[in-house]
Amino acid sequence: MGVHLLKWSFLLMTITMIVHTFIVFRGTTPSVGNKVADSLAQVRCTRLREKFISMRESEKDTKSLMEDLSALMSCPHKINITQQERYRVELRSCCNATGDLILTRENTQKGQKIKYETNRKLSKVVDKSIFNMLPKSTAWRNETRFKRCAVVGNGGILRNSSCGAEIDRADIIIRLNLAPINNSRDVGTRTSLITVNPSQIRIGYPNLEKQPQPLAERVSAYGDAPILIPAFAFTFCTDISFKVHKALHVVRPQQKVVFFNPDYLFQLFQYWKTRGLQEIRLTSGLMLASVAMELCDDVHLYGFWPFAVDLLQQPVSHHYYDNVGPSRRMHAMPKEFLQLLKIHSQGALNIHLAQCQ
């Protein structure tokens, strides 16, 4: 009984003190109160960033991860130009998206062997018809730096995000894997570059040679944005990619189909491998985020989200447009996402997970 009473009076005392402090700060010196709160928040944000910079996979359970992520998203984003430049220099010297992201008539010769990205023993000789499919040079050769770039992932977290207007404000908007843009409030309307996964074509457009219209209609949603396809990732990709090129060349000549340079993707794979990413192949999301980090001053990622629950731990669909996808292991924190959070916390790019204003 006595112990109980002691506990209660202690609790009461603590509450009284807190309330008092609050009243003092609010009543007499509001600016001091705000300053204290501000510096506490700053310390908390610095700690959080440090935590994400050194975090290991499997260190966290989903609940505390979501709490930390919510807190991180409410911290002001700090850009660190030194870090941005470090990544830019590293990526340019390993991989060089500036000159080598896509195969062009500048970086490819007739008769040259193109080595496959995932099996360097296999190659394809560049004959006349392949050479003629290549553009003269990279479209951005004369403008090697873009200001603000948005890479839009397809995660269900984009639903009801209201991020569309913010995405559309970027100078360059990169979308992935033929993502539909039928919800402009959340995902915007503009596109500068769209990637295609050859499997999507194999499954969705098996009769492309005879019926190019359905694909032409689908890609017309991106205006004249070039279509980027990994024609030399696996051997099965090559024929499909050439078919896409040929089909669209006839019905939509204004919209170019360009091929990822497999050397670029191979080098990029090595780059991330030395930083601890051991996987069979990088996701298109990380590929294009890397491209943006090399070519853009200010990189913003939207819709990158590998979990089945959102920040409030409510179920979230796999994509913002459907719920079809590989099953996800809930508790292993996907390594790529961890890597991106690290770069976010270092101040070299900006991941958006919360609703946009």
Contact segment (CB under 6 A) with ligand NAG among 75-83, 234-242, 292-300, 331-339 equals: 75-83
Contact stretch for ligand NAG (CB under 6 A) within 10-18, 78-86, 167-175, 229-237: 78-86
266 contacts ligand NAG (rule: CB under 6 A): no
- The pairing of strands 123-125 and 113-115 is antiparallel
Which one, of 313, 315, 321, 340, lies nearest residue 62 by Cα?
313
In Å, how far are 60, 307, 334 from 57, measured between CA atoms? Answer: 8, 14, 7
The answer to the question of residue 109 lying near ligand NAG (CB under 6 A) is no
Nearer residue to ligand NAG within complex by CB, 88 or 243: 88
CA separation for the pair 134, 280 (Å, rounded): 27
Question: Would you say 167 and 187 are in contact if contact means Cβ atoms under 8 Å apart?
Answer: yes
Binding of ligand NAG by 160 (CB under 6 A):
yes
For 271, the 3-state DSSP assignment is helix
Nearest-approach distance from CB 64 to ligand NAG, in angstroms:
23
Site for ligand NAG in 168-187 (CB under 6 A): 180, 182-183
Confirm or reject binding of residue 99 to ligand NAG (CB under 6 A). yes
Q: Which residue, 123 or 183, is less far from ligand NAG as judged by CB? A: 183
Which of 267, 283 has the CB closer to ligand NAG? Answer: 267
Q: Does 96 bind ligand NAG (CB under 6 A)?
A: yes
Rounded Cα distance between 144 and 121, Å, is 32
**Looking at beta carbons only, is 9 or 93 nearer to ligand NAG?**
93
Q: Least distance (Å) from ligand NAG to the CB of residue 164?
A: 12
- Residue 313 zone, left/alpha/beta (φ > 0; ψ -120 to 50; rest): left
The gap from C-alpha 109 to its chain's centroid, in whole angstroms, comes to 32
Nearer to ligand NAG, 255 or 346 (CB): 346
Binding status of residue 339 toward ligand NAG by CB under 6 A: no
CA–CA gap between residue 338 and residue 333 (Å, rounded): 7
Residue 81: CB minimum distance to ligand NAG, A: 8
55 three-state secondary structure = coil
Spatial separation of the C-alpha atoms in residues 272 and 278, rounded to whole Å: 8
Q: From the candidates 300, 331, 344, 352, which is the catalytic residue?
A: 331
User: What is the β-pairing status of strands 227-229 and 193-195?
Assistant: parallel
Could you confirm whether 331 is annotated as catalytic? Answer: yes
Start-end of H helices in 137-281: 164-168, 184-187, 198-204, 213-220, 235-251, 262-273
Q: Of these, 27, 31, 76, 82, which contacts ligand NAG (CB under 6 A)?
A: 82
- Name the token pair of 233: 């990732």
Of 322, 323, 332, 355, which one interacts with ligand NAG (CB under 6 A)?
A: 322
Residues catalogued as catalytic: 331
Give me the residues that bind ligand NAG (CB under 6 A), please. 80, 82-83, 92-93, 96, 98-99, 141-142, 159-160, 180, 182-183, 321-322
